[in-house]
Structure 1
Amino acid sequence: MSENLNKLTGFGVSIWLDDISRDRLKSGNLAALMRDQRVTGVTSNPTIFAGALSKGEAYRTQLHDLAVRKVSVDEAVRAITTFDIRWAADVLRPVYDATGGVDGRVSIEVDPRLAKDTAATIAEARALWWLVDRPNLFIKIPATLEGLPAITAAIAEGISVNVTLIFSLERYRGVMEAWLTGLEQAQAKGIPLAGIESVASFFVSRVDSEIDARLDKIGTPEALELKGKAAVANARLAYAAFEEVVNSPRWQALRAAGARPQRPLWASTGTKNPDYPDTLYVDELVTAGTVNTMPEKTLNAVADHGKISGDTIRPFYENAWNAMAALKEAGIDYDDVVRVLEDEGVDKFAVSWQELINTVQAELGKA
């Protein structure tokens, strides 16, 4: 087992795999990653499922059976994706049991086409929670403005939630408010708080991609010097916001009632710029009580040559504030950046979902 991965988990970071496929499950690869690479959770998204369905024969039998039954394409998509999620949840169940429900988690996303529809998102969250029927499930709800009340409603019903597509610090504070309110509503209903888990998925690499492109357009030496600094600074300040909340009397009261914190999760941690170290968004975002969900390529890179040296978040808040101030001075409109990233994130997942539907529809037509 990698010394780097041992160090990472030793500093309190949970390692989750940002990928799922039936081939990975059938081959025992996920179980091997749990054993050899310290993987303790799995995240999925529409892009991952679209990729899995587009190659290999692992889904052939189920697709044939669904076609023979003449199910709708939407029903077929949910049958296929929830089958994989249940399987992964069962593989991860020993970790869930060993950690008291903190890890051993697998996430499935509501239909991204519903991201701007609060009522439909709530209904979809309930349906997926019932359909998968595993205690170590997370329902992924996007952190759109319309998603915030859906997060509250789901948590208030005892549904564990992975809040996804968080880019801005302001929106992250809104996510934490939605989570706290959901816990308070659950408590009022008599639902045990200890059984409700949540993570908040703060996206990392896409922030650098968007801001670096803007810095290139500005083109001054001062602007170019700031490339590659925004994403880590943004994530570090998100953790500072998290610390403010968990030190509040409001949270302490919920904690005393059995609630557990909504852990920050670093998502989109594979570097997209080849000029940057391929372990950048792992090495620079280490602190206790967080999750880093990695593509397998990034996981292997960290295992091989990651630079895990201790807490790289909490000692660097001032550096992060300075970096964000310098970006503003250089002409970067942070509010516009995060708005663009959220809109693009929702659109990309909706496109991937449509690709998934098209792939399933084509396969159903072959039977």
Structure 2
Amino acid sequence: MAQNTRTQALSDAGVSIWLDDLSRQRMDSGNLRELIDTRNVVGVTTNPSIFQSAISGRSEYDADIARLAGEGKDVDAIVEVLTTDDVRRAADLFADLHTATHGFDGRVSIEVDPRLAHSTEETIAQAKHLHEVVGRENLFVKIPATEAGLPAITATIAEGISVNVTLIFSVDRYRAVIDAYLAGLEQAAAAGKDLSSIHSVASFFVSRVDSEIDSRLEELASEEATALRGQAGVANAQVAFGVYLEAFAAERFAALKEKGANVQRALWASTGVKNPEYSDTLYVDSLVADPTVNTMPEKTLAAVAEHSQPQAALTAEKATSAEAVLERISEAGVDLADVFAVLEREGVEKFEKSWNELLATVSESVESARA
């Protein structure tokens, strides 16, 4: 099957397209295989909300839940089996791509339990556990960029485990994430590990930034504030890419690169446009850069394949212009530090809520199976 010309153009421009979704139904139906063959999809990301949606109310999981319950497994153990089985199966589907791209793509991500977001040691332990349970080299373990998550990122990278850092909202936190990654590589190198086998992406969230800042701009109700709506998410990400360019051109990374280290690519997450007034491909067309990852929900991917019009690639000059946009938003009266703190807190809470809902759903199924 031929690839779509618009998604192929993005791929040619250095953008790796990953699907922000996974379910057993998607794999059973051949849909994921089709997206790989026709939409340049070279990876998959998951999160607690995706698993909750995939498993809740789906009959495909009933037999496994009944079997696992019959084996005496508790709800947490059952959920782990269901989610890691799906991730392992998807990882196998992408295995050839992983080999062909020398580990950069063909990746599938699974997130540590969101209830551990503020516990460093427990996050490290579960990252190791998930890596072992899934048992696939093309796995990314997702660790949130909370204060407690930063040292967990370093420790996990130092172990030689590839990490997808999630829930990054601010440029300052992004700088700390890069530092955590480089520190992990330095520790891995000191321990004699093969740096070329360690990969990482930094998931910088986009649409949620616009949603929160647009709301605050509307409350300000000034002409200047209103004119700035819809600009924050893209500008914030563009500034972040400028930080990426600077960090991975610096001497600290150059020393690691000589030992085989890979860059930590920026990944644009939360790219589904939430405001119908904006183009549904806004967070794809505006954030083309080599190398980056754009992880898209299927609705956004379909829109991209139909009418995407990518802009020129991001540069350091664009990052400087984007900084001016954020400055104007701040001058208009938006407390950006508070925005990013709220978004991080809400991000963790939303994932924890979804995880608890998933546990409750599976618990009901277990009770039904045992009745």
Which residue of structure 2 lines up, in the alignment, with residue 179 of structure 1? 181
Aligned to 2:216: 214
Summarize deviations over 1:119-142 as a string: whole Å, max 9, x none: 000000010000000000000000
Q: Distance in 1 between matches of 2:64 and 2:135?
A: 20
What letter is aligned with 1:249? E
Residue 262 of structure 2 aligns with an amino acid whose one-letter code is R
Partner of 2:337: 335
Decide which moves more: 231-240 or 22-31: 22-31
Q: Tell me the CA shift for residue 58 of structure 1.
A: 1.1
My pick for the range that moved more, 302-311 or 162-171, is 302-311
Contact 2:286 2:311 in 1 (8 A): no
Paired with 1:12 and 1:273, the residues of 2 have a C-alpha distance of 27
| Structure 1: distance between partners of 2:100 and 2:357 | 37
* Contact 1:284 1:313 survives alignment (8 Å): no
Q: Does the aligned pair in 2 maintain the 1:149–1:178 contact within 8 Å?
A: yes
1:155-304 equivalences in 2 (<5 Å) = 155-304=157-306
Task: Give the secondary structure class of the aligned counterpart of 1:278.
Answer: coil
- 1:114 aligned to 2:116? yes
Matched ranges for 1:6-85 at <5 A = 6-85=8-87
Amino acid at match of 1:161: V
**Aligned equivalents of 1:4, 1:260: Cα separation in 2:** 28
1:349 aligns with 2:351: yes
TM-score (norm 2): 0.98
For the residues of structure 2 that align with 1:277 and 1:313, how far apart are their CA atoms? 22
**d(CA) in 1 for partners of 2:19, 2:29:** 16
Matched position secondary structure for 1:58: helix
Q: CA-atom RMSD, angstroms? A: 0.8
1:308 is displaced (CA, Å) by 1.8
Would you say 1:140 and 2:142 are equivalent positions? yes
Following superposition, the deviation at residue 310 of structure 1 comes to 3.1
Structure 1 moving runs of 4+ over 2 Å:
312-315
1:242-266 CA deviation, whole Å, 9 max, x = no partner? 1111111010010010000000000
Question: SS of the counterpart of 2:274?
Answer: coil
In the alignment, is the contact (CA less than 8 A) between 2:240 and 2:319 conserved in 1? Answer: no
Instruction: Work out the CA distance in 2 between the residues paired with 1:232 and 1:194.
Output: 31
- Amino acid aligned to 2:210: D
Check whether the contact 2:145–2:165 (CA below 8 A) recurs between aligned residues: yes
Q: How far did residue 319 of structure 1 move?
A: 2.4
Native 8 Å contact 1:199 1:265 kept in 2: yes
Per-residue CA deviation, residues 307-354 of structure 1 (Å, 9 max, x unaligned), is: 124314545223201111110110011100000000000000000000
Q: Indicate if the aligned counterparts of 1:116 and 1:144 stay in contact, CA closer than 8 A.
A: yes
TM-score, normalisation: structure 1: 0.99
Partner SS state of residue 239, structure 1: helix
Letter in 1 for 2:98: Y
SS at structure 1 position matched to 2:132? helix
Q: Identity of aligned pairs, percent?
A: 54
Give the match's secondary structure for 2:60. coil
Change (3 A) 1:52 1:144: same
Q: For structure 1, which segment, 152-161 or 313-322, has the greater mean C-alpha deviation from structure 2 after superposition?
A: 313-322
Q: Is the 8 A contact 1:287 1:314 kept in 2?
A: no
**Is the contact made by 1:283 and 1:312 (CA closer than 8 Å) also made in structure 2?**
no
- Gap runs ≥5 in structure 1: none
Partner of 2:321: 319
- What residue identity is the alignment partner of 1:256? E
